[in-house]
Structure 1
């Protein structure tokens, strides 16, 4: 790695030195698990302001994947604060999965603002092992801004594929690695070693589209976009859905 990159990474690490010390002592993770829901509650509202049109367009055809049951059965993987609920169609049944139980009270607030959604359950589990969810029981799995922070993307996608019925769909929005020739990529590289602590394992330079292209899904409809943020290392995104 170039010397100037290492220099800037060390500068960022120095600014965030207390976080790095707490992480070294094994104290940062339990703190982050409690703080993250409050942080994301603010961040996702701002994110939705900029990404509202993209989300509306993406989720506009959810009802096309309605199965034999009357209601559309939706599993939101890595549900966080429930920032996607407002974009779901009337009457869909939503089961939420997240490994962090501290999100539950924020989900309640989002559900109160989205009464068109029928809440089924909040399952505390990692996306890599959703054993509580029956195979083939869902029409749609939705996973947004999650794969950047997981260690094993292949296992997440395999589990999403498992719980979907044949003909069901996996919907995604993820920030990804920028063009290596861009300034955006430069800032991703220098922020990455510290960003993972702030973002609960989030990696800025992940090439998530490659995992989707290699997954078990029969048809992946994916496109790259630049999110309309003014100054952010997470402007490059992929968005789309994949059919089982």
Structure 2
């Protein structure tokens, strides 16, 4: 089986050879950073349509974590095009963060459609280094479809715990590696992953994010494995839930 996977990976490498060459020349990453927001805008619309009820259920209790003396403060890391805004409660004060500054124009469009929220600022920063956000300053941190593209998930979770106030919550919805290593989805992920990561801005199909969450020492962890409905086959396996600091 390993030989078959290697052969198929090599075939995909040949098909995507121009992209690999551009990557070696340092050109591809710059192109992706500009193109990816346009691509993600289209993909997000399809994804949200399939995941509408799952997201509604996930964010249904976000208001429970508001500090008693003030409005809910929420930080979304890897905010992308603002696909989650419509699920946040009225009056929520939202800080947006993304490593790619090219998302800002798409965010502005999403913000204009969500006048029930109060948008604080847009930060250009990596999820594993959120130094612009103060310690214990957020009631809620949200992360959806981001961890797949970060190299060090435990470091991200440490930053999340730093910026969350005691008793605050971290909400997540991430595609992950198939748990059954012998399944056809696992096989597909293994074949596609090297080229997939290059084409989709570092996104990995093989992340075991649930293990990092279990090891992060949150005081409470509500995590479910689900099979996402009607999305791209390689990203069907998901984990969804929230963790309390």
TM-score of the superposed pair, with normalisation by structure 2: 0.97
Q: Secondary structure at the match of 2:22?
A: helix
1:230–1:48 distance in 2 versus 1, CA, 3 Å = closer
For 1:128-139, list aligned pairs within 5 A. 128-139=128-139
For 1:169-188, list aligned pairs within 5 A. 169-178=169-178, 179-188=180-189
Shift of 1:230: 5.7
Matches of 1:100 and 1:76, distance apart in 2: 14
CA contact (8 A) 2:50 2:231 kept: no
Matches of 2:47 and 2:145, distance apart in 1: 11
For 1:46-125, list aligned pairs within 5 A. 46-125=46-125
Residue 149 of structure 2 corresponds to which residue in structure 1? Answer: 149
Matches of 2:87 and 2:28, distance apart in 1: 34
1:191–1:87 distance in 2 versus 1, CA, 3 Å = same
Query: Is 13-22 or 32-41 further displaced after alignment?
Result: 13-22
Residue 205 of structure 2 corresponds to which residue in structure 1? Answer: 204
Matches of 2:100 and 2:118, distance apart in 1: 21
CA contact (8 A) 2:47 2:231 kept: no
Residue 214 of structure 2 corresponds to which residue in structure 1? Answer: 213
Residue 31 of structure 1 corresponds to which residue in structure 2? Answer: 31
Residue 7 of structure 2 corresponds to which residue in structure 1? Answer: 7
1:154–1:230 distance in 2 versus 1, CA, 3 Å = closer
For structure 2, list consecutive stretches of 5 or more residues without a partner in the other structure: none
For structure 1, list consecutive stretches of 5 or more residues without a partner in the other structure: none
Matches of 2:193 and 2:108, distance apart in 1: 32
Matches of 2:116 and 2:217, distance apart in 1: 32
Shift of 1:199: 1.5
Residue 225 of structure 2 corresponds to which residue in structure 1? Answer: 224
TM-score of the superposed pair, with normalisation by structure 1: 0.98
Matches of 1:205 and 1:141, distance apart in 2: 24
Deviations 1:42-67 (A, max 9, x none): 11111000000000000000000001
CA contact (8 A) 1:158 1:216 kept: no
Residue 43 of structure 1 corresponds to which residue in structure 2? Answer: 43
Shift of 1:231: 4.8
